[in-house]
Amino acid sequence: MLRVTGVAAGYGRGVVLHDVTFSVAQGEVLGVLGRNGMGKTTLIRVLAGLLRARQGSVHVGDVDVTREAAYARAGHGVAVVPQGRGVFAELTVVENLRLGRMAAGRRARPGRLDEVFDHFPRLAERRKQRAGTMSGGEQQMLAIGRALMAEPQLLLLDEPSDGIMPVLVQQIARDIRAVNVDEGLTTVVVEQNVPMVASMAGRCLILESGRIVAEGTPDALAQGGDIERHLGV
Amino acid sequence: MDRVLSVLLDVVTSTLVLALVSLGLAVVFGLVRVINMGHGAMLALGAYVAWTCVNRGIPFPVAVLVATVAVGIVGLVFEVLVIRHFYEQPFETLLISWGFYLVVTELIKLVWGTDLRSLPNPLPGTLSVGGAGIGNYVAVISLISAALLTATALVLYRTDLGVKVRAMIQNRDMALMLGVNAPRMYRSVFAVGAALAGLAGALIAPMFSIEPDMGTLWLVRSFFAVIVGGLGAIVGGTLVGSGLIGGATVVFALFSKQVFAQTVVFALAVIALRFRPVGILGRR
């Protein structure tokens, strides 16, 4: 579903990602772990189309999207829940969700809004509320709900636990897992929170200084000492 | 009582005329964050195009339409050739659009000369409102201004396009990731802003002398109206800012000369911005 081959990327003269290669199968949840400043968000920006890869290629399905802008990638079914959630604070819950539906274009299905409200009943209760007035956890639900409205083929989540109360982190993880199971949605989750990723992902990569230094199931990475060695936990 | 009503009508019409002139500037500034100093030249260009059309026997309403489209196309070409390369560089776009103002003003002088020109009032006569008089034409362009402000508000708050536009203002990257085609939207917004300037220039042409530098004062007044009203508050900000700049000038002019009144209003606007830099309805 997602194929990343030899990608290098960075800002200005600095190179952040070096020769990153991996793939994600249809319906798989891939976790990308790494400490701060290791290139996780840069990777998401490259996959989303906000940052051009200097080398290498990105394929979504059979389509080479390497040179495509972010808005064009949305058309290929790439949906993003960015770090900090990226909800439009001045827009209402429903307006935020409408933006997701607009991104779906021809893929949009009637009844999708009700499905999203089924996943996140709290959003239905607050449909006319301005997004900026909601709690961090509710905003995260909205950001995920908005991404689902886009009928994505590939969901990219950047630090979904960031700024969320610890008690809600596992709830968000369960929500993401439920969406993956219900819809067979291919998902890439970039996180520092190892237990959260371990509860969602079937396979993980560890990024260090912009390079993939380990890959495997969460259990294998933990037992092999990679998580302790590279993440210090 | 008639005097009060007359002043009130003057305040309302001055506000709406200034709002008409400012709307294009507010749209471009609010949506693509470009302070388009070329707005004044686009206004003058609209007036000259309308003047040329009328002098060739074209009915005034059609002349206004031609001016709107022509200046819109000029704005589109300017955006495609120049401005699009400098988005998110506020100082560069400020200087470039000021250069555009100077070039277009000089071209106007080359094509039409520097003589003052005028258009006949297309709707002579006055309308009586509760005993106070208001020129027919001023009443009509005030209504057009109110209709344009209403239409802009409806587009922004009642349509999918409006949701996209408001999303783009708040978080460009996120809007892009939701499939909003930013380059196309920016281009359209700039062209619409230019077209609105052309429309305003053509509509105010019968009320004032047409001359190459006519855009300067309007640019200053509309610039103040937009920033005093509030950065990004496109409709409400334009209306409130125009009310404060246009309406207050009318009130101060009751007690002094017009030039002095305008100076006082600009000074008050500067003081207001000292305490609220984002404008009255603006948000940080």
Q: Which two tokens stand for residue B55?
A: 């002098």
Amino acid of residue B167:
A
Reported as a single tens digit per residue, the pLDDT across B165-206 is 999 988 999 999 999 999 999 999 999 999 999 999 999 999
Rounded to a whole number, what is the distance in Å from the CA of B240 to chain A's nearest CA? 20
Question: Are A71 and B160 within 8 A, CB to CB?
Answer: no
Least confident of A15-29, A69-83, A155-169, B46-60: A155-169
Classify strands A211-216 and A203-208 as parallel, antiparallel or unpaired: antiparallel
Quote the crossing angle between the two packed helices B182-204 and B2-32, to the nearest 10°. Answer: 150
**A151 — pLDDT class (breaks 50, 70, 90):** very high
Query: Which of A71, A93, A149 to mutate to test binding with chain B, by most B CBs within 10 Å of its CB?
Result: A71
Alpha-carbon distance of B168 to A184, in angstroms, equals: 31
User: Nearest-CA neighbor of B222 among B192, B251, B189, B196?
Assistant: B196
pLDDT, position B1: 64
Long-range contact set of residues A176-180: C-beta below 8 Å, sequence gap at least 24: A176/A29, A176/A144, A176/A200, A177/A29, A178/A119, A179/A119, A179/A144, A179/A148, A179/A155, A180/A27, A180/A29
Question: Are B179 and A105 within 8 A, CB to CB?
Answer: yes
Question: Are B177 and A49 within 8 A, CB to CB?
Answer: yes
Q: Which residue of B has its CA nearest to A101?
A: B178
Residues in A touching B160 (Cβ below 8 Å): 98, 102
* Rounded average pLDDT over A118-146: 93
Amino acid of residue A95:
E
pLDDT, position A38: 92
Angle, CA B37 vertex, CA B33 and CA B41 arms, to 5°: 135
Query: Which of B168, B169, B174 to mutate to test binding with chain A, by most A CBs within 10 Å of its CB?
Result: B174
3-state secondary structure B177-244: HCCCCHHHHHHHHHHHHHHHHHHHHHHHHHHCCECCCHHHHHHHHHHHHHHHHCCCCHHHHHHHHHHH
Query: Which of A52, A73, A90, A149 to mutate to test binding with chain B, by most B CBs within 10 Å of its CB?
Result: A90
- What is the pTM for the complete model shown? 0.86
Reported as a single tens digit per residue, the pLDDT across B226-235 is 989 987 788 9
User: Nearest-CA neighbor of B245 among B26, B47, B31, B99?
Assistant: B26
User: Nearest-CA neighbor of A60 among A72, B183, A39?
Assistant: A72
What is the average pLDDT score of chain B?
A: 92
**B284 — pLDDT class (breaks 50, 70, 90):** low
The proportion of chain B whose per-residue pLDDT surpasses 70, expressed as a percent, equals 99
Residue A131 to residues A119, A141, B110, B159: CA-CA distances in angstroms? 18, 11, 54, 19
Residues in B touching A81 (Cβ below 8 Å): none
pLDDT, position B271: 87
What is the residue whose two structure tokens read 């302790």?
A228
Task: State in Å, rounded, how far the first CA of chain A is from the last one.
Answer: 31
pLDDT, position A109: 87
**In this complex, which of A75, A88, A103 lies closest to B170 when CB atoms are compared?**
A88
Reported as a single tens digit per residue, the pLDDT across A43-52 is 999 999 999 9
**In this complex, which of B170, B178, B182 lies closest to A103 when CB atoms are compared?**
B178
Reported as a single tens digit per residue, the pLDDT across A98-122 is 999 999 988 888 899 999 999 899 9
Alpha-carbon distance of B187 to A78, in angstroms, equals: 25
pLDDT, position A101: 93
Rounded to a whole number, what is the distance in Å from the CA of A192 to chain B's nearest CA? 22
ipTM of predicted complex:
0.91
**B28 — pLDDT class (breaks 50, 70, 90):** very high
Question: Are B179 and A75 within 8 A, CB to CB?
Answer: yes
Q: Which residue of A has its CA nearest to B173?
A: A50
